[in-house]
Structure formats: structure tokens, C-alpha cells
Chain A
């Protein structure tokens, strides 16, 4: 029973969403289903928040490795919660009360967000530049024929984006223009790369249809859990 009801709900909502794509009057139902999901997700947020507090409090109390970071998490959590809930330091509070915009210019919430959270996120994102270099170094080693093709392709594309690359083959006559490095680079991106990407996308689309059918028909039910049938 614990599984039958979720499977039934999945079948009905999944069926509605698929059919709504082809039945114009049902399009509104699809939007409603998505709103229901958001409502459920809000309830789950309390579970998530509870889990976050529990895990970090345990870390601090039991003095686990790097427990000091857990204090930073907890302090940050409560500060942002207070600033957001009570709209502290929000200039619109005087006129609008709690209807004030959370991101109103000058509000403490927005200031902390802009001064702390945004730079931290940008810092993490910027790590990507270094990781791309290290991953490329490993990926572009000509260990076998496949890796050699990858290396040559990458070299042409990299060269095609640079001034040196364009100059190096600039002497070629018009009838050999295809072999100019910038044109080869473009050809690799627009033809070879795009064809591969489209093949992957077609496979993904078919995979999603198959997976969705398994879920809607209740054949795939491991994600539902629930014990008895």
C-alpha cells in the first residue's frame, strides 16, 4: 500500500503532464502540477534545514575534525535567517513593513549577500580555470590513438582562437583556405563536435522517454522505497 499510492499518483500526474503537451486545455493542469511540486519542496525544506542544524551541532558538540567550520555555518545560517525573516536594516520597512522587498537597495540582507556570499561563490567558480588546466594536461596526453586524435583536435581549436594561429597559416592561397587553422578550428567545432553532441542529445532524449515510461508505469520504483508492496 505504501508503494501503490505513490505509483498511482506518479501514473496520474505523469500521464497528465505528457498528455497536456498535446491537449491545449490541459496545459493549465501541467502548470498546477509544477506548483504542487514547489509546495511539497517547501515542506521538505524544513527537513533539510533541520538536518543541516543537527549535523553541524553534532560536529561542534563532539568536536569532530574541523568543527570550527561548523560554527561558521551555524552563525551564518542564523544571521541570514534573522536578516531575512525580520527584514532587519531594510529601508522599505518604514513604509511597507514586512512586505518590504528582501533585496531592497541598502538592506542588510542584500549587503551581506553582496559582500560575503557573492565573492565566495565567485572564488569557488574561479577555481574552475585551474582545474581546466590540470584536467586538460592529463586528457591531452597521447597515450593511445583516441587520445592522440583528441590532442590534435584540441591543439587546432586552441590555435584557431589565437592571433599566432591565424598568422601561421595566413600565407595559404585561397584554394587552400579550408586548411587555414581558424577554418579548421571552426569546422571541428561546427561539424565534428556538433554532430557528436547531437548524437548524444538524441540518445538522451530516447533515454528520458524510456526512463519516464518505466517510472510512470511503475516498473522502475526503487526511488519510491516504502517497504511493502
Chain B
């Protein structure tokens, strides 16, 4: 066919109009019209073919069941259109469509940009067979011919193989904890290093008793679904028992209603164990508000009004950590803090007398209980630390010998990547 005169106004406007019309048909049409070759679209296509360059179709479309899922995903891959990175270079993306094996029409399930040759289709039904079609398209609205994949049936797996190494590490660490608990039950003596913050608990409660002032206990600002709050509650039980024995008084304002209920039960039990249930006051453990800074304002008010001699901050804390600890410092209270939020630890270290750093918070209840079974679990934790230290050491050596910045020895580089696959989460 002869080429039209490039300078005529008609030739400038007509392709633009046709392109817009074609783009409109792609966006507005159902997948049926997109892939079906009826007479009308064939006419438009054949006209456009001469005006808008049609990209070559992507090849070798493959559909594969996604591994380690519940049978709801399929991985689709294809070879890029020859006009994507080379050739006409006019491909701007790919449209991916899907149909059930038993159906005749494809439904569009997504699109990706050019140079991308895969897509994971989600939300499928387990045990169904699917087929995929991929089409390249251009900014002018031209679409390539469609390439169709093989048929794939989704399957459900019962174990996430990507997490095999995590399971193994968990078994080693949890097994060590269980072994040392068993070991401790047999009455074998165990050495535990002293934790200054926990040794100061009794002294701090005694001081408050002597001064005739109350004790303030904040179990963090999270609810009972946070293990830090549970750790705080277990320490509260030990603190409350001593408070009951010393006939002192403890206030526990909470940010969560469920934490208040748990704290009340914990303190009541502690008073009962100490034989001082008559001194238990449920109103001293109360809910304040779920609003973070409203809670901080209320606790600061309690501090400045009641001037507790000892303040405990044990649980999950965020921006309020320093506001609370500095207010406690200003009233001259002994302060013992502990949290597993690394960003808040420096604030507590700066403003409190004693700080339980990270794991010490979780070790505290076992430490204070002096129960051999609980102390055994701390020993098991140490095995985990040995594994971590060995992994860091081996990883550092392999990275130094294998990386490009280091000695760049290929064998060590491969070994490092294999090692990273185990301890780096399989990525």
C-alpha cells in the first residue's frame, strides 16, 4: 500500500484520531471484544496496522502453580516482545488475561510495564485449571497478537518450604529452652548473671514504704496481645506481692481496658499470696484512656500530685517514654524501666536509675521468681545467642573473603550467598 502524504493536515489528524479511537476500544471493551476477532474490529485493525506499528507478540508464555501457598496463586512468565527492548521499542506494557480451562473467554487480570516478564496472579480457587494470555501494547494503543500459556492447576501445600531454615532454627532454640527447663527440674544448680535493675526492685519498694509514698507501675501502652505487656504483668505480680508484704500502696493506671482487667487480677492474686487481701484496692488499678498523649498527661498528673517514691515502666513504650521518665525524675522518684523498643532505650537509660535492656525485660519474671523451670528457659536462650554469635562470625568471614570489596574469592562468595539464604530469611 502506498504511503499517504506526510505533510497534509488530514494525515496529521487522522492517525491521532484513530489512535484515540483504538485506545478507547481497548479500555472500554470487555476482554471478549479484546481478544475476539469480529469483523468490525478486524477492519479497524487492518486499517491501523498500516498506520500504527503493531508490536510483535510476547512468546513462550508459561503458567506455573505458585509453590508454598494455599492454592490461590499462579506465577505467569513470558519472553519479552521483540519490540520491547529492541526492534521498534514501542511496547509500554503487557496485559495479562486468564480463563478457566472450561471457559472460552479470557478476563483481564492485570497489566505490567514493559521490560517486566512475570506476574503472580492471586485470589484463585484451589484445584481449578487456568490458562493465561499475554498481549503487548503500545502507547498509541496498538496491541500485539495474543500468546496463550499452558494449562495449570492450582495446588495447596501443607508446609511453607521457604521457611525450612527458620523452622530448623526455631526447633534448635526452642529445643534448647525445653532441654534446660527439664534439666533445671532435676535440681541441677544454674548460674545466672546479676541484673542490677531487678536487684534494685526490693530496695525501691522498701524506700517507698519508708517514705510513706505510693509506688507507680506502668505496664506499657500496648494491650495484652503484646508479649511486652505480658512480661510487664509478670513483673507486676512480683512487685505487688512485695508491696503487699511491706504494706505499701501501688497505683497501676493503664491505657488498655484489657490490660486493666489483667492487672487487677494479677495484683489481687499477689495480695492474696502475701496474705494481705484485705489491703487490696481494685480502684488503684484503673483505665485512663486509649489516647496516647491523654494517657501521658494523666500519668504525669498522678506523678506530680501523688509524688510516688518509686516508678516502674515495664512494657512497650513509644514517644511518651522520656516524658514519663523525666517527670518521674523531677519528683525525685527511683525509676526502674524496661522495654523491648530499641528506639526508646536511650531515653530510659538517660532518665532512669535502672534500665532492663531488651531481653532483660523478658528474663525478669524468671529471674524474680527463682523458679528453676523458668530459670532453665533463660539458659536455653543462651544457646540461641551462641548460634547467633557463630552465624555473625561465619557470615562476616565469608563476606570478607567472598565480596567484591573484600578478597573476591568466588568459592567464598557462593558460600556466603548460601549462608545468607539460611540466616537472612531465605532471600
| Contact surface of A with B, Cβ cutoff 8 Å | 21-25, 27, 34, 37, 40-41, 44-49, 51-52, 54-55, 58, 65-66, 69, 117, 120-121, 124-125, 127-128, 131-132, 134-136, 138-139, 197, 200-204, 206-215, 217, 219-220, 222-227
Contact = CB atoms under 8 A, between A and B. Distances in A.
Given A66-B301, A226-B269, A210 B260 contact: no
Contacts of B166: 21-22
B174 A135 contact: no
A127 B261 CA distance: 31
Contacts of B69: 24
Contacts of B283: 51, 54-55, 58
Contact of B257 (A22, A41, A65, A219): A41
A187 to B, nearest CB: 16
A223 B305 contact: no
B256 A41 contact: yes
Interface in B10-27: none
B351 interface: yes
Contacts of B101: none
Interface residues of B, number: 83
Nearest to B240: A222
Say what secondary structure dominates the interface of chain A. helix
Contacts of B288: 52
A34 B223 CA distance: 12
Interface stretch (B31-39, B242-250, B376-384): B376-384
B364 to A, nearest CB: 10
B363 interface: yes
B261 A44 contact: yes
B224 to A, nearest CB: 8
B305 A66 contact: yes
30 contacts: A24-B158, A41-B257, A41-B258, A48-B260, A48-B287, A51-B283, A51-B286, A51-B287, A52-B286, A65-B305, A117-B291, A124-B294, A124-B296, A124-B323, A128-B319, A132-B322, A135-B350, A201-B342, A202-B385, A206-B384, A206-B385, A207-B360, A207-B363, A207-B381, A209-B173, A210-B363, A211-B230, A211-B362, A222-B237, A222-B369
B266 A213 contact: no
A23 B159 CA distance: 5
A200 B359 CA distance: 8
B265 interface: yes
Contacts of B237: 222-223
A210 B380 contact: yes
Interface in B223-278: 223, 225, 227, 230-231, 233-234, 237-238, 254, 256-258, 260-262, 265-266, 268-269, 272
A24 B287 contact: no
A213 B377 contact: yes
Contacts of B415: none
A131 B300 CA distance: 13
Contacts of B233: 222-223
B263 to A, nearest CB: 9
A212 to B, nearest CB: 6
Contacts of A55: 283, 286
A202 B389 CA distance: 10
